[in-house]
A and B are shown apart, each in its own frame.
Chain A
Amino acid sequence: MAQDFRIPGRGRVDRTKPIAFTFNGRTVEGYEGDTLASALLASGIRLMGRSFKYHRPRGVLTHGADEPNALFQVDRGPGRADPNNRATVVEAVAGLKVSSQNHWPSLEHDIGQVNDLVAPVLTAGFYYKTFMWPRSFWDKLYEPAIRAAAGLGVAPDAPDADRYVHRNTHCDVLVVGAGPAGLAAALAASEAGKRVILADEQAEMGGSLLADLTATIDGKTASAFVAYALKTLAGRANATLLNRTTAFGYYNHNHVVLTERVTDHLAAPDAKLPRERLWQVRAKEVVLATGAHERPLGFADNDRPGIMLAESVRTYVNRYGVAPGRRIVFATNGASAYRAAADAKAAGLDVTLVDLRPEAEIGPERALLSGNELLAGHTVVGSTGGKAVTGLIVAPLSAGRVGARRTLACDCVGMSGGWTPAVHLFSQSRGKLTFRTEIDAFVPGSSVQAERSAGACKGTYDLAGILAEGWTAGAEAAGVPSTRAFAAAPATPTGFRAARVLPTDADPKKVRAFLDFQNDVTAKDIGLAVREGFESVEHVKRYTTNGMATDQGKTSNMAALGLVSEILAKDIPQVGTTTFRPPYTPVTFGAIVGTARGETFDPIRTAPVHEWAAKQGAKFENVALWRRAWYFPKPGEDMHAAVARECRAVRESVGLLDASTLGKIEVMGPDAAEFMNRMYPNGWTKLEPGKCRYGLMLKEDGFILDDGIVARMAPDRFHVTTSTSGAPRVMAHMEDYLQTEWPDLDVFLTSITEQWGVIAVQGPRAREVIAPFVSGIDLSPEAFPQMAVREGEILGVPTRLMRVSFTGELGFEINVPADFTQAVWEALFAYGQRFGITPYGTEAMHVLRAERGFIIVGQETDGTVTPDDVGLSGMISKAKKDFVGKRSLARPDMARADRKQLVGLLSADGRTVLEEGAQIVADTQQALPMKMLGHVTSSYLSPTLNHPIALAVISGGRARMGETLFVTTPAGFTAVKVVAPVFLDPEGKRVEGLVEGGVHA
């Protein structure tokens, strides 16, 4: 497609580097340096999308981040499709496939535009008013229909093929925005030697200077000044320049987050580069130089393709060398549009300027245009055209009266309703805004964080002032205040007369003057909302959706606010402004997620025998961040068969479990026993070195926090174990008391969870399996009884060997320094083959302990369970005056007879395996809601007993032994008998290895 609207000899695009992309399937040509918008305009394409609600044809309104209309689906290949990209900021790259959105079957012929015909009913609050009744219509009719119509663009359905990274960085001064103010600030701050980061959202730094062909700064052209400034900054090692980088969030304590688009502008990016980089910046000082957004004008049909902002016309002409039209009418209430018109004229385009202000109000900008190019004291009452503007309807104003209409034929309109400083980041920093009536705008007032604003974002619009302000801000931020005057010529035309909706002779009820172009909110909608009682600007916003689209109202918020204030006859500061929240512009999920996906989503902690287990075909389960072997299926076995086999092996011969994930804490110091006495309900003073004890840990509220075996290694040294997931919690709990309540105790804690690998060898042949490898420890039952701990060696490496059992069988837990675990495991496994040694996983461990009636914290307990509730009141020392949780256990509620107590359940039919979490009732015929007595906490088919077993907590459970109760099932209820929560070996004889009928009896 020919670039008929490219202006020869103008613009910063690189004409030696032509590129081509496709738009809705058509090939569009442009040059490196173009945005999608500028390239499309160069080819005469004005129609770029359909509006959200009315499906009105729309073209580009702006030239930057504030664009509400030209939103494209951008397709960079599989897994790289992305909706709602602003055509004004996406760089034109060879091979890109882009398409417009929100139309069917095509952009030119869109069925959805019937909405525009019924617009009179689609007013503010339409949804709230219309879809109220009948209620039954909501689920089947209204909601599906609304959902189908809602949303813009097509969400990608393939995983994102790109890579994103994060980077934390620090600087003395962060300058946001590299227009004249930002450049001056960065020059000043970096000259002082401070670490400076200058970030700008555009491909090229320079901001408004890139579109300025007339200004000179200190004798240099604007373009030359930009080049000089960037070269100077690039030569300073203490300055970092980040282009294509948007500061989108300003958080606490000068934490500013930027997103850098690293590769989107490259046709064939290096595979090692991430697509985007999220910068987490901690700045000592921040300079905001974020510029200002131009306001559209409110008049009927102000949204036709070809109607855009005046400064955008100027930017397309000067920066991109593109004529957005050949006959351009500028409509304005202020000075800056004169510069745009003059520049368009200088490019050989036909211009007319319509100014709302009477001749006498117009300032020196008047000199930029000749007499026949200016219509002063005129209002705009409408436009003509369909998919492109063909004329602007204007009328003279005299003493508030609208005179005779006339239509100015044109193919482009450049409108300017004044300027709105971009105070978004300042507002996010919690700074307070103040309203300056003379410029009709909110500007930064008092700061809360270490930041300062400079330039247009502070309401300063003349170039010399902007540069001086930027310099001062940069120097002050660097802590070396200085000023510098910049000679900028000619004087910048500034000033405008605030106008909300332009005066019209039409029936205001029929005029659709768009304020929010993306959400199709008109001035009429705002009026309706206020009449209906929505006077708070926050309410008006939500009722009309003004400013709630992806552009967040950059071009519309002030217009809506001004209108509300006008209707209510209140000053703007009294009406207030809506809150600015991050992000300033849309941010990809990829940038936020960064590396946190795939194997780096979360740490996957693996135990020392993990690789071995994986090779054996183990299935794994997640326990906190750990991945533990769950069961070890043999070929053809399902989980049930594998677990049954593993359980039988432990009961009849011997099994091996990797228990390394258990938390372990070394408690050391002369006051260690006293500390243990205070932390645990049991007594520790009398526990001899070489002995172990079961420890139940309570929180101060008396409920069970964790449990585990504690071994006393020496008078001043305890080896405390915790549950796998409780390890960090217990360590933090202990450390908190130690540091903040009892700093006088001479005790230190060290986490040794990962220092020691743990192999549980369980079963009647456990002793025989380990014996050949252990040295320095007498393993005989007499010398090494149950609940003893010994230090010695196994396979020549140090071990803390404990004789403990979580299965009910004779068993040992071999602690060895973690890196030796695999070697010890493999030796035991090889040697144990003669006994049929069987590795078992966490599922078998759960079944085995449940058969024996041992609780698991977090399964039988839920943070509201006391020791007595689970039948462990015997753990509580009567002799101790105090321990954590003691006083709470004395509360009357803790001793109530109807507390939920741990019991066993047996299915009456001998077959049904109950569901864990199932509710328990006494009478299935009682009225709803039924009284629930408790719930099932653990349930398994016991391979040893060959029938189902379950543990449950039931109100007054211990007094219900032998009762029949009912447990919910997916189909209804099943009857159960309440029994003691021990199903096997209640006397605890098996830990001695004396198994009746077993191979080792």
Chain B
Amino acid sequence: MLLVPCPYCGPRPEVEFRCGGEAHIARPADPDALDDAAWAEYLFARTSPKGVHAERWLHAHGCGRWFNALRNTVSDAFITTYEMGEPRPDITGGR
């Protein structure tokens, strides 16, 4: 069971959380402006990298807040977490 570092509550057991899939896929401001292919891309297309992945997490059975996390999908290590709306942190500094 993972130990998920909630940015509000600190490290908490995985069972309290729900993973919401890939982060930083904003709902288009004007969906009607998108053609069918672009809308389908928004709805269904997700990346699944081997390595660092930005994910949405919900501390469902804790503080109830959604947040984003960078997790290494190979080692399961959480590199950092950050609040919704913040940009993806640059971790090219060797982490």
Q: Which A residues lie at the B interface, using CB under 8 A?
A: 251-255, 280, 282, 430, 448, 700-701, 732, 735-736, 739-741, 743, 881-882, 886-888, 890-892
Digitize B2-25: 1 where CB-to-A-CB distance is under 8 Å, 0 elsewhere.
110000000001000010100000
Determine whether B32 belongs to the interface, using a CB cutoff of 8 Å to chain A.
yes
Taking the nearest CB of chain B, how far is it from the CB of A924, in angstroms? Answer: 38
Given contacts A253-B76, A887-B39, contact A743 B2 (CB under 8 A): no
Q: Say which residue of B26, B32, B34, B84 sits within 8 Å of A739 (CB atoms).
A: B84
Task: Bits for B30-55, please: 1 = Cβ < 8 Å to A, else 0.
Answer: 11101010010001000000000000
Q: Are B2 and A252 in contact (CB under 8 A)?
A: yes
Q: Which of A251, A280, A736, A887 contacts B31 (CB 8 A)?
A: A887
B1 touching A253, Cβ below 8 Å: yes
Q: Closest CB-CB distance, B82 to chain A, in whole Å?
A: 13
Contact status A701-B43, CB under 8 Å:
yes
One of A252, A736, A881 near B58 (C-beta < 8 A): A736
Most buried by A among B30, B56, B66: B66
Are A252 and B43 touching (Cβ within 8 A)?
no
Closest 10 CB pairs of A and B: A887-B31, A253-B3, A739-B66, A255-B1, A741-B27, A252-B2, A740-B66, A252-B76, A740-B84, A887-B39
Q: Are A430 and B26 in contact (CB under 8 A)?
A: no
A108 to B1, CA, bound (A): 48
Nearest CB of chain A from residue B27's CB, rounded to whole Å: 5
The listed residue (A252, A448, A739) touching B3 by CB distance below 8 A is A252
Give the residues in chain A near B26, CB-CB below 8 Å: 741
Which residues of B does A touch, CB under 8 Å?
1-3, 13, 18, 20, 26-27, 30-32, 34, 36, 39, 43, 56, 58, 60, 64-66, 75-76, 84-85
Determine which residue in A254, A701, A739 has the highest number of CB atoms from chain B within 10 A of its CB, and name it: A739
Contacts of B75 in A (CB 8 A): 430, 448
Q: A245 → chain B, closest Cβ, in Å?
A: 19
Whether B84 contacts A881 by the Cβ 8 Å rule is: no
Closest Cβ–Cβ distance, residue B60 to chain A (whole Å): 7
Q: How far is the CA of A720 from the CA of B38 in the complex (A)?
A: 33
Q: A741 — which chain B residues lie within 8 A by C-beta? A: 26-27
Could you jot down 26 A-B contacts, CB within 8 Å? A252-B3, A252-B76, A253-B2, A255-B1, A255-B3, A280-B1, A282-B3, A700-B27, A701-B43, A732-B18, A732-B58, A732-B60, A735-B64, A736-B58, A736-B66, A739-B65, A739-B66, A740-B56, A740-B66, A743-B84, A743-B85, A882-B31, A887-B32, A887-B34, A888-B39, A891-B36
**In the bound complex, CA of A881 to CA of B76 (Å):** 42
Q: Given the complex, which residues of A lie within 8 Å of B84, measured CB to CB?
A: 739-740, 743
Complex: A253 Cα to B43 Cα, angstroms: 33
Q: Work out how many contacts link A and B, with CB atoms closer than 8 A.
A: 53
For residue B20, which residues in chain A have a CB less than 8 angstroms away from its CB?
Answer: 736
Determine the chain A residues whose CB is within 8 A of the CB of B34 once the complex forms.
887
- B32→A881 contact, CB < 8 A: yes
Are A892 and B31 closer than 8 Å at their CB atoms? no
- Report the separation of the CA atoms of residues A253 and B2 in the bound assembly, to the nearest whole angstrom: 6
Q: Given the complex of chains A and B, what is the CA–CA distance between A101 and B36 in angstroms?
A: 66
C-alpha spacing A253/B64, complex, angstroms: 23
In the bound complex, how far is the Cα of B36 from the Cα of A891, in angstroms?
A: 7
Q: Is the CB of A886 within 8 A of B3?
A: no
Q: Which A residue's beta carbon lies closest to that of B64?
A: A735
Collect the chain A residues with CB atoms within 8 Å of residue B66's CB: 735-736, 739-740
Bound complex: CA A237 to CA B76 (Å): 34
How many angstroms from the CA of A732 to the CA of B58 in the assembled complex? Answer: 10
B residues in contact with A886, CB < 8 Å:
31
Chain A: minimal CB distance from B64 (Å): 7
Minimal Cβ-Cβ distance residue in B for A701? B43
- The answer, among A282, A430, A700, A743, for a CB contact under 8 Å with B43, is A700
Q: Which residues of A contact B39 (CB under 8 A)?
A: 887-888, 891
Across-interface contacts of A881 in B (CB, < 8 A): 32
- Complex alpha-carbon distance, A407 and B32, angstroms: 91
Cβ-defined contact, A882 with B1, below 8 A? no
Specify which chain B residues have a CB less than 8 angstroms from the CB of A736 in the assembled complex.
20, 58, 66
In the bound complex, residues from chain A placing their C-beta under 8 Å from that of B3 are: 252-255, 282
Assess the A882–B32 pair: CB atoms within 8 A. Answer: yes
Of all chain A residues, which has the CB nearest B40?
Answer: A891
Give bound CA distance, A115 to B93, whole Å: 64
* B2 vs chain A, min Cβ distance (A): 5
- Beyond the given A253-B76, A740-B56, could you list 19 further A-B residue pairs with CB under 8 A, ordered by the A residue number? A251-B1, A252-B1, A252-B2, A253-B1, A254-B3, A282-B3, A448-B75, A700-B43, A736-B20, A736-B58, A736-B66, A739-B66, A739-B84, A740-B84, A881-B32, A882-B31, A886-B31, A888-B43, A890-B32
A886 to B43, CA, bound (A): 13
Write out the residue numbers on chain A whose beta carbons fall within 8 Å of the beta carbon of B43: 700-701, 888
A857 to B46 CA separation, bound complex (whole angstroms): 28
Task: State the CA gap A732–B31 with chains docked (Å).
Answer: 22
Q: Once the chains are docked, how many angstroms separate the CA of A252 from the CA of B11? A: 13
B39, closest chain A residue (CB)? A887
Q: Could you tell me the distance in whole angstroms from the C-beta of A265 to the nearest C-beta in chain B?
A: 30
CB neighbours (8 Å) of B56 from chain A are 740
**In the assembly, what is the distance between CA of A280 and CA of B3, in Å?**
13
Picked from A280, A735, A739, A892, the residue with its CB within 8 Å of the CB of B36 is A892
In the complex, residue of chain B having the shortest beta-carbon distance to the beta carbon of A890 = B32
**Chain B residues whose C-beta falls within 8 Å of the C-beta of A887 in the assembled complex:** 31-32, 34, 39
Contacts of A882 in B (CB 8 A): 30-32
- Bound form: Cα–Cα A741–B66 in Å: 11
- The residues of A that contact B27 with a CB separation of less than 8 Å are 700, 741
- CB neighbours of A255 from chain B (8 A): 1, 3
Give chain B residues whose Cβ lies under 8 Å from the Cβ of A888. 39, 43
> How distant is the Cα of A31 from the Cα of B58 in the complex, in angstroms?
56
Q: How far is the CA of A700 from the CA of B27 in the complex (A)?
A: 10
Which residues of chain B are near A735, meaning CB under 8 Å?
64, 66
A residues less than 8 Å from B32 (CB atoms): 881-882, 887, 890
Give the shortest distance, in Å, between A199 (CB) and chain B (any CB): 18
Measured CA separation A956–B74 after assembly (Å):
48
Determine the distance from Cα of A770 to Cα of B71 in the docked complex, in whole angstroms. Answer: 57
B residues less than 8 Å from A701 (CB atoms): 43
Q: What residues of chain B lie closer than 8 Å to A743, measured between beta carbons?
A: 84-85
Q: How far is the CA of A891 from the CA of B37 in the complex (A)?
A: 10
Least distance between A323 CB and chain B CB atoms (Å): 47
Complex Cα gap A445–B84 (Å)? 39
User: Complex: how many Å from CA A741 to CA B29?
Assistant: 10
Residues of A within 8 A of B76 (CB): 252-253
The interface centre, meaning the residue of A251, A252, A282, A448 with most chain B CB atoms within 10 A of its CB, is A252
A892 to B1, CA, bound (A): 44
Q: How far is the CA of A782 from the CA of B20 in the complex (A)?
A: 48
Least distance between B54 CB and chain A CB atoms (Å): 13
Residue of B at shortest CB range from A699? B43
Which residue of chain B has its CB nearest to the CB of A735? B64
Residue of A nearest to B29 (CB): A882
- Write the nearest CB–CB distance from A249 to chain B, whole angstroms: 11
* B85 / chain A contacts, CB cutoff of 8 Å: 743
Q: How far is the CA of A700 from the CA of B26 in the complex (A)?
A: 13
CA distance A886 to B34 in the complex (A): 12
CA distance A622 to B85 in the complex (A): 41
Collect the chain B residues with CB atoms within 8 Å of residue A739's CB. 65-66, 84
A190 to B84 alpha-carbon distance, docked (Å)? 41
- B65 contacts which chain A residues (CB < 8 A)? 739
Q: Chain B nearest CB: distance from A140 CB in Å? A: 45
Expressed in whole angstroms, the minimum distance between the Cβ of B23 and any Cβ of chain A is 9
For the complex, give the distance between the alpha carbons of A799 and B58 in Å. 34
CB of A278 to closest CB in B, whole Å: 13
Q: How far is the CB of B13 from chain A (nearest CB, A)?
A: 8
| Cα distance, A701 to B56, chains bound together (Å) | 19
Q: Give Cα A969–Cα B56 distance, bound, in whole angstroms.
A: 47
Docked Cα-Cα span, A736 to B32, in Å, equals 22
CA distance A611 to B17 in the complex (A): 34
Q: Across the two chains, which residue of chain B brings its CB closest to A885? A: B31
Q: Whose C-beta in chain B lies nearest to the C-beta of A168?
A: B13
In the complex formed, the residue of B with least CB distance to A883 is: B31
Q: How many angstroms from the CA of A282 to the CA of B65 in the assembled complex?
A: 24
